[in-house]
Amino acid sequence: MVGSFCLVMGQLNPVVGDVSGNVKKIIDAAQHARDVLNADLVVFSELTLTGYPPEDLLHRPGLMRRVELGLEKLKREVQGVAILIGHPAGKVREDLYNAASVIVDGQCLVTYFKQYLPNYSVFDEERYFVKGHIPGVFKYKGLQFGITICEDTWFTGPTSQAADHGAEIILNLNASPYRQGKCQLRELEVTQRVREVGIPIVYVNQVGGQDELVFDGGSFVISGEGKKVARAPAWQEGLYPLNVVREHDGKLHVSGDVTAKESDLEMVYRGLVLGLRDYIEKNHFPSVVIGLSGGIDSAMTLALAVDAVGADRVKTVMMPSKYTAQISLDDAAEMAVRLGVAHSVIPIDSLFEQFNTSLAAHFIGLPVDTTEENIQARCRGVLLMALSNKTGAMVLSTGNKSEMAVGYSTLYGDMAGGYSPLKDVYKTLVYRLATYRNSLSEVIPTRIITRPPSAELAEQQLDQDSLPAYEVLDSLLEQYVAEDLCFEDMVALGGDPELIARVIRMVDRNEYKRRQAPPGIRITDRAFGRDRRYPITSGYTINSKME
């Protein structure tokens, strides 16, 4: 056995577009890895310098000038340890590549260009980059390394190409956003690549929130024998060392700490917390304000907000009307006390009556309907946005995915806000997350979880008066929204045709609302927005079949 080599997985949380800040973070991490961990090589994530995804910032020549200056600064200031970093390279709108470079003591040993550019789901790399073709292999301190970038490892070619050119270990840089089930898929795919080439693969992933995407980290290593021999924790920025040694048979053996996997609910909850925290922090909001109704969605949003930025930066406002139950007032106040947040009450009855008085002449002869319900929601939206304008606190919208899907929400009312943490969370999952959060410490009063949900905009109103039971609704939404099943397919699965048609119509006719909704954290493989892009104006309905 030959002497060991210290390879460090640099699982960082970059800020998109902040090249100078990201360069400083890389320098600090590299120096710490060198001085404390005795690192030989630190591997960072995909597009480390710009953060991921930089989107149309990549069309700005000014960004590339900053990247070039950043690379020069890294060459000057990182000494005594090698680094592998991701960055764009080339000419804007011409030959721009998603690249990775090895820098050692002021020199660039090799630059590799990503070969497979994802252009599906939330990815649109073909909009910005051209494909590379040449393997990235370099020798350092007696070891032969191969480089691949993210999507490359989902295909046989780049990994096999690097191995054929002498690579003994593959370093795979990633910016792979979280969604439910993604961790297992990554490990399965990387293990398949290992089986094909018989050498270890080090998978280094970005961590942190970026608008609607959240990156879970969870960097890992699959040995040449197909075993997971190291795993960094999810949702945690840090440096994670690996020991690489050459055995007597000439093969490289990699070892490191293997962090236990988190449960599915823990992964979702922590992802929502991190996504919310980074949106608040990276956009420099001093605090947030939440309309606390005594219902499950606002309760869950409050728990996430406090876990994200602390109780001292969260304010809640209860805005009751004559339809608000006393238990809603009590439960909202109780939860605010449990979490230690500032809480106030601003009744909306006088505002609601003033609107009704002002509109009375225009509503003569027309029955009371959802218009009056929406006016109440918009009174609350105006109050929350006024508090936001005056104090700088960002309003958190509290709607969930089930409501957003079928339009059970009010534009400029409960949809008002700068961010929507539950935007991609079905109602049934909201309940499960509430139970999970209470298993850590009981912050949500039990009655909020167990009582039937209600918007409380009319007498004795319950959600089930307007919607199917959420267990049924969420199942149908999964089929129609996530799986793209059509009416006939859904009926064939045994569903009620009338109910299915009703749900489909609600989803289709509310696309205009979703276009105006605030951003929120993506946790599924078919979130509204970047994942699911449907026209607002469309003649494609369940009744528009070919004659």
Q: What is the DSSP string of 151-191?
A: GGGGSHHHHHHHHHTT-SEEEEEE--B--TTHHHHHHHHHH
Catalytic residue flag (residue 46): yes
User: Looking only at Cα atoms, what is the longest distance across the chain?
Assistant: 92
Catalytic residue flag (residue 6): no
Rounded Cα–Cα distance for residues 135 and 22 (Å): 27
The active-site residue out of 6, 55, 94, 114 is: 114
SS (H, E, C) 64-102: HHHHHHHHHHHHHHCCCCEEEEEEEEECCCCCEEEEEEE
Rounded Cα–Cα distance for residues 505 and 303 (Å): 33
Q: HSE (CB half, 13 Å, CA atoms) of 199?
A: 25
Rounded Cα–Cα distance for residues 240 and 230 (Å): 9
Beta strand ranges found along 247-365 (DSSP E): 252-255, 288-291, 314-318, 342-345
Rounded Cα–Cα distance for residues 483 and 215 (Å): 23
Closest of 22, 529, 71 to residue 237, by C-alpha: 22
Give residue for tokens 């494609």.
540
Closest of 439, 402, 420 to residue 263, by C-alpha: 439
Rounded Cα–Cα distance for residues 405 and 512 (Å): 11
Closest of 404, 440, 439 to residue 420, by C-alpha: 404
Q: HSE (CB half, 13 Å, CA atoms) of 185?
A: 10
The active-site residue out of 150, 315, 373, 379 is: 150
The active-site residue out of 46, 168, 334, 373 is: 46
309 and 462 Cβ atoms separated by less than 8 Å = no
Rounded Cα–Cα distance for residues 242 and 145 (Å): 15
What are the catalytic residues?
Answer: 46, 114, 150
